[in-house]
Amino acid sequence: MIIQISNPTVLKNYDEDDETIAGALKSIFPHDTEMAFLKWNYIYIPLSYKYDISIIAVDFINLYEFLHDSTKEHLVINWPSSTFVSKWEIFKDGHNLKIVSKWKEVLGEVSDLLNSDNILLIKTNELYLELEKILLFLKKALEINGYNNNNLSDFYLFEKINLSL
């Protein structure tokens, strides 16, 4: 699995009404910027920064945290975005992961294709590096716009997983 960040436009658009990572990300990414792509078993899934990444960013953080927690071996994520609706059941066995997915709605109408090859085997550190790449990008984009622990109630999650730029 690969997460391609691309080169999205990041607006200088701090909104004092934003209270969460999701709201702030919606404010700083325009609708018509480049998309990120998630490559799952050779199938590219487009993810809008404004409408998908903003909603699933905290789930990325939770998944990243799970990869570091040696006491946890199982995680279920129900991805909530309207164009990235799927359920991942993640099993950790040492340095290996098995992700069993059920795809419901995906931009590009490739759910059936994704469900026909719904198991992904990946090394824990490979997924860790892919998540770290996008999380560092998102954190930096938020900080450039003036977002931090003082104005976003869940920004502490970035510190909790100890991301460093």
Residue 121: other Cβ atoms inside 10 A = 10
User: What is the phi-psi region of residue 38: left when phi exceeds 0, alpha when psi lies from -120 to 50, beta otherwise?
Assistant: beta
Would you say residue 28 has pLDDT above 90?
yes
Burial track 147-161 (b if 16+ CB lie within 10 A, e otherwise): beeeebebbebbeeb
Domain ranges for the chain, please list them: 2-160
Question: In the predicted model, what is the mean pLDDT of residues 10-20?
Answer: 96
Rounded average pLDDT over 73-93? 95
Token representation of residue 67:
């990869």
Summarised one tens digit per residue, pLDDT across range 85-114 is: 999 999 999 999 999 999 999 988 899 999
Structure tokens at 145: 């716009």
Per-residue DSSP letter, 50: I
pLDDT band at 164 (very low <50, low <70, confident <90, very high): low
Q: What pLDDT band is residue 123 in, cutting at 50, 70 and 90?
A: very high
Residue 164: CB partners within 8 Å, gap ≥ 6?
A: none
Residue 92 tokens, joined: 């950790």
**Is 18 within 8 Å of 147 (Cβ atoms)?**
yes
